[in-house]
A and B are shown apart, each in its own frame.
Chain A
Amino acid sequence: MNIAALPMMILIATAVVALVPSLAPPGRVRHLGPPLVSIVGLVAAAGMSVLLWGDRQYTFYGAFRTDRLTVLMTLIFIASALVTVLMSLREPATVDRRGEYYSLLVAAVVGMVLVAGTGDLIGVFLGIEILSVALYVLCAMEVWRARSLEAGLKYLIVGAVGSALLLYGLTFVFGATGSVSLEEISDIVRVRGLGGEPLLMGGMALVIAGLGFKASAAPFHMWVPDVYEGAPTPITAFMATAVKAAAIVAFLRVFSGALIDVVDDWQMPLAVIAALAIIAGNVGALVQQSFKRMMAYSSIAQAGYLLIGVATGTLLGVRSLLYYLIAYTAMTLGAFILVAIREREVEDGQSIASLAGYGRRSPLHGVVVTVCLFALAGFPPLSGFIGKFMLFGAAVEADLTWLAVVGAVGSAVSVAYYLRPIFVLWGEDPEPGNARTFDPGDGLWVASVLAGLGVVVTSILASPLLDYCREAAQALIAP
C-alpha cells in the first residue's frame, strides 16, 4: 500500500487516540487532551493531503482514489472540522463527554474523506453512513436538553429512511451496470449506451433522493430547521458546511464522474431539486426570528446554489461549484460562530433580536459576521458574489437559463434576510444592561478570525483558487 490513503489513516488514528485522554482523572489532561489531539491530528492530515496534490493514486485495490478532488475536499472537511473544534472548546454539550465528542467529530471527517475519494459505490454508502452515525450521536449529545435529544432522534429516524433510499438506489445502479467500481460503471455506461435504461434511471432517482436528503436540498429538507436548531451550535455549523460538502462530493463522484454520459437523464431532476431548494430556503428564511433557524433555511438555499453546479454537468459548473463550496464553508462558519457566542452570553442568544448593539460592543465579531453575511448575500467583491456569478453563468452555458434566473431571483430575495441581522447588529441596543453571563472563550475568537480571513482570502485570491478548482474538476471529469 502506498501513502495515498495516509490522511485518512491519520484521521482514523486521531479518532481513536482522542478517546484516550478522557480516561484521565478530571483535570487539564481530560479537559484539553481530546481537542488538542484532534487539532494535531487534523492539521497533520491536512499537511499530508497538501503533499498529495497531484495525479491520481489508487489504494485498497482501487477502492480509494486520491486525486486533486479528494485532496481539495479533504482540506475543506478538515478546515470545517478545525473551526468546529475551536468553537466547541467550551461547548456545554462536551462536558463529561469530551473524548466521545471529539472522537466522533473526527470519525465523521473520516467518513467524509472516504466519500470524497471513493472508487466504488460501496465507499459512497459506507462513507455517508460513517458520518451520519457519528452525527446522530453528536446532535443528541446535549442529552439533558430536550431539543437536542429530539434533534438527534429525528435526524436518526429520517436519516435512516434517507440512507435506505440511497442504498436501494445504489443497488439499482449496480444491477443496471453489473459493477460497483465507479470507473467501470463509467466505461459500461458509455460503451453500452445506457441512456434511458429504466433500471439505471430508477437507481439514479433513488440516489438523488438519498443524497439530496443528506445535502438538505428541497423537498428533502423538512428535517433541517428542527435538527439544525436543536443540535449544539458547533455541530450545526459542522453539518451545514462539512456534511453538506460531503453530500455534494458524493453527487459529483456518482453523477458528474461515473454517470456523466447519461447526463441528459439526471440533469433535469437535479436542476429541479436545486430550484426547489433555492425557493424553499430563501422563502423560509424570510420569516425566521431565530438567527440559527434562519441560517438553517439559508443553508437549504445554499445547497440549491451548489447543486446548480452539479446539474450543469460541465467542467465550468464543477469548477464554480468547488470554488463556491470553499467560499460557502468560510462564510457559513463565520455566521454560526456568532450564534455560538451569543447563546452562551445571553438567555435567548439564538434570536436575531439578541444581536442588537452587539457590533459596537464587540467590533471584531461584528465585522466578521457582517462580512460573512454580505458574502452569503452575494455582494461584490466578496467570494459569494464571484461564486454565484460563476454558477449562474455555468447554468446559462449548460442551457439551464431558467435555473440561473431562479437562482438570481432567490439571491435578490436573500438580501432581505441577510441584511436584517446586520442592521440589528450595528443598531442600538434597546436594553444596554444585556451583560455577559458566560465567557465565550478564546477558541471562538480564533475561530471567528479564521472564518473572516477565509472569506477575505477566498475573495482576494479568487484567481489562484479558481485555478486549483479547475484542476480538481478536471481530475473528476477529464479521464
Chain B
Amino acid sequence: MIGSLAWVVLLLPLAGALVLGFSGSAEPPKALTRVAGVGTIALSFAATLVIFFTLLGRDADDRALTTTAWRWAELGPLRIDLALLLDPLSVLMMLVITGVGMLIVAYSTEYMNHDRDYRRFFAEMDFFIFAMLLLVMAANFVFLIIGWALVGLASYLLIGYYYDRPSAVAAAKKAFVINVLGDVGLVLAAFVMAVKLDTLDYAGVFGLAPEKLGHGGLIPELIAVLLFVGAAAKSAQVPLHTWLPDAMEGPTPVSALIHAATMVTAGVYLVVRCNVLYQLAPHASEMVAIVGAVTLFIAATIATVQEDIKRVLAWSTVSQIGYMIMAAGLGLYTGAMFHFLTHAFFKALLFLVAGVVIHALVGEQGIDRMGGLKKYLPVAWATTLVGCLAISGVPPFAGFFSKDEILARAWDAGDLGKVLSIVGLVGAVLTAFYMFRMFFRVFHGPEPEGGYAHAPHPSGPAMTLPVIVLAVLSTVGGLIQVPTVNHWLDSWLDVSLMADPALEASHATEWRTMTMSVIAAAAGIGLAWFIFAADGGRRRVQMAGAMPALRRFLLDQWRFDPVIDDAVVAPGRDLGDAAYRGFEPYGSGGLVRGGVGVATAAARLVRATQNGLVRMSAFGLVVGLIVVAAAMILGR
C-alpha cells in the first residue's frame, strides 16, 4: 500500500508543475495558482506522513521497501529499474522536503504576490520539489543522477528567475556550470560501479561492494572521491562553493527552500546514503571530513563581514553544511542527518524572516540600511532571535543538540576527529558572532540615517504562520535526540546505515563538549553584543577601520574567485583568445572556461588544416588511409 503511496508523493508535485506550466499562455487567477501550487505539495506531505507513521509502526528490520514501476533498461547483466526506495533515510528526507517545502511555498503565496510571473514561480517550485523527491527516493544510482541533474536545472531556472537582471543570469550560469562539473563526477562514479559490480541498485551495490571491492583499495577510494565531487558541487564545499552566495539572486523563498533547507544538503544525503562505500574508503572519508571542516571555517569567517542580509545567511549555510559534511566524513552519519534536520528548520526560518524584513522594507537587503526594526516587526524579532539562538547552539534550541552531537562524537573519533572538533568549536564562536551581528544590526541599534521612507509593515498571515511553525520546530526539534536521554534518530536511521560505525561519545566528552559549546556560543553572542548593541551601535563605527587588510581579505571571500580566475581561467582565456577572439562572451565561466581555453588552443591547430581547399580534403583522405593502414598493422 505505502509502495503506491510513494508514487503519489513523487508525482503530485510534478502534476502541479505540469498543470501550472502548461495551462495556456494567459496568467490564471492567482487563487487557482495557489491551490494548485500549495495544494499538491500539502497532499504530498500528508501522504509522506502516512508513510512515515506506517513505517514507524513496523519492526525496525521491516522498514525498507522498494517499489518498481517498470524496467527502464536492461543492458546485459546491468538492470536499471524505475524504482523508488522507502527507508528511514529517504523518508526523513521526504518529510523535510515536503513539510518545509509546503511551509515555504505557502509563504511564497504572499511574498511573490506583487511579483511578476506568479504562475511560473509556483510551477518551477513544484518542479523542484518533484526533482528533489526523485533524488532522495531513487532506488538506484541512475535515478539518483537524474534527480541530481533535474534539481540543478530547477535551481538554474529559479536563480535566474529575474532573467532580465544580468547578475541573476550570471549567477544562474555559474551555479549550473559548477553543478554540471559535479554531475560528471557522479556519472563517472556510477560508470565505475557499473563496470565493477554489474549493478547500480543501492541494494546491489552496497551488498556487493564490501566483498568485491575490498577495503581501502584504489577502486573504492576512486568511487568515493568521484561521488564526493558531485556532493561537493551540490553542497557548495570548498573549492566548488563560489556559486552558492551568488545564487542569492533568486527570490528569497527559493533561497530558503533550495539553497538552505533541501537541495544544497543533497551532498550530505549522498555521502550518508553511500556510507557503505565510504567505510570502504578511509582516505576518501578523511578527505571529505577535512574539506567539510575547511569549508565550515572559511565560510564562517566570510560571513562575519557580509553586508547583505541574504549573503550572511548564504555563507552561514555553506558553513553549516560544512559541519554536516565533516560529520559524514568522520563516519558520524546520524550526526550529519540530525544537523541536516535541525538546520532545515532554523535556516529556513532565518531565510523566511529575512524575507519578511526585506518585504517590509520594499526590497532593501543591505543591513546597514536596517536597524531598530524591533518596534516595527515584533514577531520577526522574536522568531529571528529563536533562529539565531538555534544556529548558535544555545540550549535547549534545536541547533545545540545537533551541533553538540557532531562535536562530541568527533572528539572521540580518533586524532583527526579531535582536530576537526576544535575547528568546529572555533566555527561555533564565529557562527554565534556573525548571526548576532546580523540580529543586532537589523533589529536593534539606531535606525539608518534619514529613517525609513515608508514605515516598515508587518506581513500578513500567509507569511507569518510558516515562520512561527518553523520557530517552534527550531525550538523543540532537537529533543528527538538528547545525549544520555534518548536516541530516537539513531535507532530510526539504523536500517539505512548499513556500515555505521556507531561512534558514541563518552559521558565525560559529552559534558565537556556541551560546556565548551555553550561557552563558545556565549562568547560569540557577547562579542557581537559588545560591538553592535551595547553602546547603541557607536562602537561599531569606531571599529569600522580596524584591521583593514583582514577585512578586505574576508570581503574578497578569501579571494577564491580571483584565484580561480588567475590560476585557471586567465591562462586558459589567453590561450583561447589567441585562437579565437569573440568566443569569450559565451564562455561558460569558472573552471570549465579554463578547460575550454586550453582546448581552444588545440582547436587552432585543427582549424589550420581546414582551410576549405578541396585538395586539402582529398589529401586528408590519403592521410586517413595511411592512419587506418598503420593502425591495422600495428593493432594486430
What does DSSP make chain B's interface, helix, strand, loop or mixed? helix
Q: Point out the residues of chain B lying under 8 angstroms from A467, CB to CB.
A: 74
Q: A413-B595, A463-B70 are in contact. Are A287 and B588 (CB under 8 A)?
A: no
Interface string of B594-606 (1 = CB under 8 A from A): 0110011011101
Cβ of A287 and Cβ of B620 under 8 Å apart?
no
Q: How far is the CB of B168 from chain A (nearest CB, A)?
A: 11
Docked pose: A284 CA to B195 CA in angstroms: 31
Query: Given A286-B596, A381-B142: A206 and B579 within 8 A (CB)?
Result: no
| Besides A272-B627, A273-B628, 12 new A-B residue pairs in contact (Cβ under 8 A), listed by A number | A153-B614, A158-B618, A268-B631, A273-B627, A287-B580, A287-B607, A316-B76, A389-B194, A393-B78, A416-B588, A423-B173, A423-B588
In contact, B146 and A381 (Cβ under 8 angstroms): yes
Q: Contact between B72 and A205 (Cβ–Cβ < 8 Å)?
A: no
CB of B376 within 8 Å of the partner chain: no
Contact partner, B603, options A286, A352, A386, A427, Cβ 8 Å: A286
> Nearest-CB distance from B314 to chain A (Å)?
23
Of B183-191, B210-218, B540-548, B557-565, the stretch lying at the interface with chain A is B183-191
**One of A42-50, A99-107, A132-140, A218-226 at the interface:** A218-226
Provide the bound-state CA to CA distance between A208 and B618, in Å. Answer: 15
**Are B184 and A161 neighbours in the complex by a CB distance under 8 Å?**
no
Q: Which of B159-217 contact A (CB under 8 A)?
A: 160, 163-164, 166, 169, 173, 176-177, 180, 183-184, 187-188, 191, 194-195
Once the chains bind, are A416 and B617 in contact (CB under 8 Å)? no
Contact call B617/A264, Cβ cutoff below 8 A: no
With a cutoff of 8 Å between Cβ atoms, the chain B residues found around residue A154 in the complex are 614, 617
Contact A462 B73 (CB under 8 A): yes
Q: Which residues of B contact A267 (CB under 8 A)?
A: 635
Q: Which residues of A contact B620 (CB under 8 A)?
A: 219-223
Contact of A219 among B73, B149, B627 (CB under 8 A): B627
Asked if A77 is at the interface (CB within 8 A of a chain B CB), the reply is no
Known: A283-B599, A392-B191. A212 touches B149 (CB 8 A): no
Contact indicator per residue, chain A 228-240, by CB within 8 Å of chain B (1) or not (0): 0000000000000
- Complex-state Cα separation, A368 to B497, whole angstroms: 42
Chain B residue at minimum C-beta to C-beta distance from A315 = B76
A-B contact count (CB 8 A): 182
Cα-based distance from A379 to B625 in the complex (angstroms) = 34
The reply to whether B632 and A276 contact each other, CB–CB distance below 8 Å, is no
From the candidates A221, A226, A287, name the one contacting B579 in the complex (CB within 8 A): A287
Q: Does B375 interact with chain A (Cβ within 8 Å)?
A: no
What is the distance, in angstroms, from A291's C-beta to the closest C-beta of chain B? 11
CA distance A213 to B618 in the complex (A): 10
Please name the 10 residue pairs, one residue from A and one from B, whose CB atoms are nearest each other, closest first.
A268-B635, A269-B631, A222-B620, A219-B624, A381-B146, A272-B631, A222-B617, A287-B580, A209-B625, A269-B628
Contact across chains for B74 and A201 when beta carbons are under 8 A apart: no
Q: How far is the CB of A413 from chain B (nearest CB, A)?
A: 6
Chain B residues with CB under 8 Å of A213's CB are 621, 624
* A424 on the B face (CB < 8 A): yes
**Residue of A196, A201, A269, A320 contacting most chain B CB atoms (<10 Å):** A269
The answer for the CA separation of A212 and B604 in the assembled complex, in Å, is 24
Q: A264 is contacted by which of B163, B596, B629, B636 (Cβ under 8 Å)?
A: B636
CA distance A413 to B599 in the complex (A): 9
CA distance A428 to B173 in the complex (A): 13
Per-position binary interface string of chain A over residues 263-299, scored 1 when its CB falls under 8 Å from any chain B CB and 0 otherwise = 0111111011100100010111011010000000000
CB of A157 within 8 Å of the partner chain: yes
Q: Is B268's beta carbon under 8 Å from chain A? A: no
Of B73, B628, B636, which contacts A212 at CB under 8 A? Answer: B628
B163, closest chain A residue (CB): A428
CA–CA, A413 and B597, complex, Å: 11
Smallest CB separation, A37 vs chain B (Å):
36
Nearest residue (CB) in A for B604 is A287
Q: Does A346 contact B (CB under 8 A)?
A: no
Q: A284-B603, A380-B149, A466-B75 are in contact. Are A205 and B614 (CB under 8 A)?
A: no
B interface, CB within 8 angstroms of A: 70-76, 78, 142-143, 145-146, 149, 160, 163-164, 166, 169, 173, 176-177, 180, 183-184, 187-188, 191, 194-195, 579-580, 582-583, 586, 588, 592, 595-596, 599-600, 602-604, 606-607, 609-610, 612, 614, 616-618, 620-621, 623-625, 627-629, 631-636
Contact among A209, A218, A419 with B180 in the assembled complex (CB-CB below 8 Å): A419
Q: With A220-B620, A287-B579, A428-B169 known to touch, is A205 a contact of B625 (CB < 8 Å)?
A: yes
- Specify which of A153, A220, A426 lies most central, judged by the most chain B CB atoms within 10 Å of its CB: A220
A76 within 8 A of B: no
- Nearest-CB distance from A397 to chain B (Å)? 8
The distance from the CB of B130 to the nearest CB of chain A, in whole angstroms, is 13
Residues of B near A111 (CB, < 8 A) are none
A contact residues, range: 35 or more
User: Is B628 touching A209 in the complex (CB atoms < 8 A)?
Assistant: yes
Minimum distance in angstroms from B142 CB to a CB of chain A: 7
Say yes or no: A225 contacts B610, CB within 8 Å.
Answer: yes
Q: By CB atoms of chain B within 10 A, which of A218, A264, A265, A286 has the most?
A: A286
Q: Are B621 and A165 in contact (CB under 8 A)?
A: yes
Contact of B628 among A205, A226, A289, A424 (CB under 8 A): A205
Q: With a CB–CB cut-off of 8 A, which chain A residues contact B596?
A: 286, 413, 416
| Contacts A389-B191, A408-B188; A226 near B624 (Cβ below 8 A) | no
- Residues in A with CB closer than 8 Å to B183 are 379-380
Q: Are A420 and B625 within 8 A (Cβ)?
A: no
Q: Which residues of B sit under 8 angstroms from A287, Cβ to Cβ?
A: 579-580, 583, 600, 603-604, 607
Q: If the complex has contacts A424-B586, A466-B75, are A220 and B624 also in contact, measured as CB distance less than 8 A?
A: yes
Nearest CB of B to A126, in Å: 21
CB neighbours (8 Å) of B75 from chain A are 316, 320, 390, 393, 466
Bound CA span A188–B194, Å: 38
Known: A165-B621, A204-B632, A428-B169. A420 touches B187 (CB 8 A): no
Output the least CB separation between A34 and chain B (Å). 32
Given contacts A266-B632, A380-B149, A408-B191, contact A283 B76 (CB under 8 A): no
Docked CA distance A408–B596 (Å): 16
| CB pair A423 B586 closer than 8 Å | yes
Is A412 close to B, CB under 8 A? yes
Residues of B within 8 A of A161 (CB): 618, 621
Report the Cα distance A104→B15, complex, angstroms: 46
Determine which of B166, B169, B184 lies in contact with A412 in the assembled complex, contact meaning CB atoms within 8 Å.
B184
In the complex, which residue of chain A has the Cβ closest to the Cβ of B612? A226
> In the complex, what's the smallest C-beta–C-beta distance from B568 to chain A, in angstroms?
14
Q: What is the bound-complex CA distance between A467 and B71, given in angstroms?
A: 12
A219 touches B623 (CB 8 A): yes
Assess whether A415 is interfacial by the CB under 8 Å rule. yes
Contacts known (A268-B631, A393-B78, A419-B180); A380 close to B600, Cβ less than 8 A? no
* A 443-469 contacts with B by CB, 8 A: 462-463, 466-467
**In the docked arrangement, what's the CA distance between A415 and B616, Å?**
30
- Which residues of B have CB within 8 Å of A123? none
Smallest CB gap from A283: residue in B: B603
Does A17 belong to the interface (CB within 8 Å)?
Answer: no
The distance in angstroms between the C-alpha atoms of A287 and B608, with both chains bound, is: 13
Determine whether A396 belongs to the interface, using a CB cutoff of 8 Å to chain B.
yes
Q: Is A162 among interface residues, defined by CB-CB distance under 8 A?
A: yes
CA distance A232 to B188 in the complex (A): 39
Give per-residue flags for A352-384: 1 if the beta carbon is below 8 A from chain B beta carbons, else 0. 110000001000000000000000000111000
Q: Are B73 and A158 in contact (CB under 8 A)?
A: no
Judge whether B187 and A380 touch: CB under 8 Å: yes
Query: What are 30 A-B interface contacts by the 8 Å CB criterion?
Result: A161-B618, A202-B629, A213-B621, A219-B623, A219-B624, A220-B621, A222-B617, A223-B614, A223-B617, A269-B629, A271-B635, A272-B635, A283-B602, A284-B603, A286-B599, A286-B600, A287-B579, A287-B607, A389-B191, A396-B195, A413-B599, A415-B180, A416-B588, A416-B592, A419-B180, A419-B588, A426-B163, A463-B70, A463-B71, A466-B73
* B72 and A158 within 8 A (CB): no
Q: Is the CB of B600 within 8 A of A222?
A: no
Chain B residue at smallest Cβ distance from A392: B191
